Amino acid sequence: DGGITQSPKYLFRKEGQNVTLSCEQNLNHDAMYWYRQDPGQGLRLIYYSQIVNDFQKGDIAEGYSVSREKKESFPLTVTSAQKNPTAFYLCASSIDPPGRIYNEQFFGPGTRLTVL
């Protein structure tokens, strides 16, 4: 079955530690995205990638880093520089690169990160 997987579903880390969230897709999609969701707020874009070895900052990139070494994978690292890292993180992908008209995105199940 094609889809997007994120692991782990729940993640606990101590303050000051970097942590990497996994996102893998087997949909052969070019574009991938990372979003953060906080209670009472809409999804906010952290980073996105249109193609392998290329990525752009979203609206709230500070304290985060990404890589796109393979088409299937787009891991997100939450660094110690992120002031409020506790949140629900969603990965998505789209068949068309961003900038096309419709940009329908498919979402993974999410990772809930709690920093203690």
Partner 1 sequence: KNEVEQSPQNLTAQEGEFITINCSYSVGISALHWLQQHPGGGIVSLFMLSSGKKKHGRLIATINIQEKHSSLHITASHPRDSAVYICAVSNFGNEKLTFGTGTRLTIIP
Q: Would you tell me which residues interact with partner 1 (CB under 8 A)? A: 40-45, 48, 50, 56, 58-59, 88, 90, 92, 98-99, 101-110, 112
Alpha carbon separation from 97 to 13, 61, 63 (Å, rounded):
33, 20, 25
Shortest CB 75 distance to partner 1, Å: 19
Shortest CB 12 distance to partner 1, Å: 16
Distance CA 14, CA 109 (A): 23
Distance CA 13, CA 5 (A): 21
Of residues 9 and 83, the one with the C-beta less far from partner 1: 9
Shortest CB 62 distance to partner 1, Å: 17
DSSP-based three-state secondary structure for 71: coil
